[in-house]
Structure 1
Amino acid sequence: MRRGFLLNKSLSDEGKSGRQPVSSASKPLNKETERGVHGEAREPRATAEVARVPIPAIHIPAIPHHELIAAALTLGTQITLHVVHLPLPPSDLAYAEHTTTCILLSGQAPQILASPGFPRDPARPRHAHLYDIRPVPALPAPEQINTEVELGLFATSSLEPGDLILSERPLLLTLRALPAGSAPGTSADDILERAAEAMPARERRAFLALRNCKTHGDPRLSRARGIVATNALGIGSLPGHAGDCAVVCERTCRANHSCSPNAVARWDLPSFSVELRARRPVRAGEELTISYLPDLTLPRAARVDLLRASYAFTCACTACALSGAARTRSDARRALLARQRSLGYDDARFAGWLREGAGERVVAACESVMALIDEEGCVEDGVWAVGLHWLCRAYCALGRDEEARACARRATGLARAFTGGDGGWARVAEDPRMTEN
């Protein structure tokens, strides 16, 4: 889920081919008892008659950034303002859910309402109060372009990857593409102002209280459009229209940006809600941050320029605050992570590595990638899933079961963070010896 207007050891160097039956060179010689890496006796692996568990290959769809586009809809397309009324969640939630005001195409609302399982109650965090909203420390005056007091989310207890921090139905849901009609009441600004006026009183107050970094620089924009352009989170397409949509939330949109974010926001259609989950370990008292950028592996200079142009602030996160040689190393690490996206899930390549006896090299390369992620605090959705897939498969092929289990547990948490479910990794963590190779 993307926000706002934006909406040297590589595995690709290790071999060129993938997964077929493991060659005899990689199988234990003793058919009764396998030997681990250090020669310890191990129980036999599952036989062909036992159903094996595949190592998950998770594909996380990329959601384009969602700058509101004027005049992008087909001429004559009818825009309707539809208020979707959803049932309240169970009364033991810490907060009551509300109505979401939606800007949708004609006929789109019935298709959303007909979605399987709709409307489901939003997921509930394990504890009621896992965060506070409070002011963030002010940046030095030269760096602070917008002088408004900034609020942020702060963890009130420690969190692990995948932990649900909050879930909420949005204040506003809108199409990314809005018309730029010249007739009164037909422009993007007019439609968004109508949507804000249609909100119930409490939701409208919450919407208008959100940060607006746009209208002070361009007085031609309406207040509602400025708030949407500043805070909107991309959610991809919805039933009834292939174009992208975006949402504005009361609490999730208080999460500030970091180039090494510790949280991620995701959309859940059945519950019509946004979930904020931890993407790496978080300490109590630490600010909860998400990414406003389309790509966290960009070099520091490019990230700073994009954020300044789109949100009127100069990023001062831990990654951007580096200077000199440390900044150069950080950019180099992110460039290496960007290269991993091209690897993909190539079974033939993995089988080739095993035939060539390169299992340990695969482990070393994958461990290097995960170390880069940890060092940068850059848990990119296009990198970790592939890296942990290959690492776990290599551990399993080499009989390193405890390391495979730890790898699968880490992947379980990250899968929950980015997709809302474990993606099949929990089964792998239960018994890595039952996996396919």
Structure 2
Amino acid sequence: MTLKRTIALVALFATPAFAKTIAVAPGADAQERLQTALIEASPGDTVEIGAGRFELTDGLSLDVAKVIVKGAGPDKTVLSFKGQQAAGEGLLVTSDDVILRDFAVEDSKGDGIKSKGADRIVYHNVRVEWTGGPKETNGAYGVYPVESSDVLVDGVTVKGASDAGIYVGQSKNIVVRNSTAMFNVAGIEIENCYNADVYGNTATRNTGGILVFDMPNLPQMGGHSVRVYRNDVTNNDTANFAPKGNIVATVPVGTGVMVMANRNVHVFENKLADNATANVMVISYKKPFDDKNYNPVARDIVVRDNQHGRAGWAPGFEGGEQLAAALGGGIPPVLWDGTGKGKAVVQVREKVPVLSLGLPEPTSPTSDAKPAAVDLSGGAPIAEPAAVVLPPQMEAAIR
């Protein structure tokens, strides 16, 4: 980083001398008082939400830059949207340089916390939960930064999202770390993003643990350069409860890490175990599409140095049960659909069996599969993406 950029960033994050703290306590008129605080905050201010339970009837929004929204802790400051009348987010942020920390959002009708076009956004020590457990009627996403540059999700816990617990979409320069995703359809999902590090997380009891997808017909496509490493991705056994039509409604129960139609994704040094379909799946996008610029094939994928436990005893995709029976009761822990041969490079550099379904095209039905064990350890090394480096002030903000 140049000295000029460092000075600019320091100025960007500097707290004005007139910055103030706006304290909001629970009790009567909490909805109005909290929303008023978010509206009236000035850049540099802190909206301090007190300990207690806030019973809210409508979503909250923040569009002021350089504001800290801070509670007393995710088990002490609880924003409950059980009585929410509209179907929007619990909290929507549309401004830059915002820090969200130390509070919980429960039972929002829509997404828990969404930030859109909010650069240098920080989610730290936040909990989002649907307290009734996994249900199709739960909100789609727990924390949902989208269309942003420089995103930090740190120490977040999400339970019960009907799409993805932690979802980052169409963004650049992302770190998701030290977080826990449980009882969601997808635990953590990185979609149509450039440069992301996903590490030190626990993804368990979801339908699928960690997904790295690229989708057609979106403003930002061609997702690439993602590192998924040193995560605990185990026991993903929750039945898929996504509403029909959602892309994650197709994720098989018992998926550990799934890479779909993305480029230059490295999956390494993870603990992967007790995922009934597979510990790692590398697949193409399988639905018809009309986007001429979209590449549906996963390519330049590296799987290496992971710790594998039990997997593949009850694959949840069409024909999986018969395939497992034909292979002696289970499929290998790493599964590739086999598409993109001659166009894609998939490397598995670890001592575990790999199964290719041998599908000729991304849209080929599984009935066309010609499963076979494959050796994907060869080929020229694929360079690992560089580590994501966030502006230093983002890291300093959570110390």
Please give the TM-score of this superposition, normalised by the length of structure 2.
0.24
More helix by share: 1
Give the strand-richer structure, 1 or 2: 2
Report the TM-score, using the length of structure 1 for normalisation.
0.23
Max radius of gyration: which structure? 1
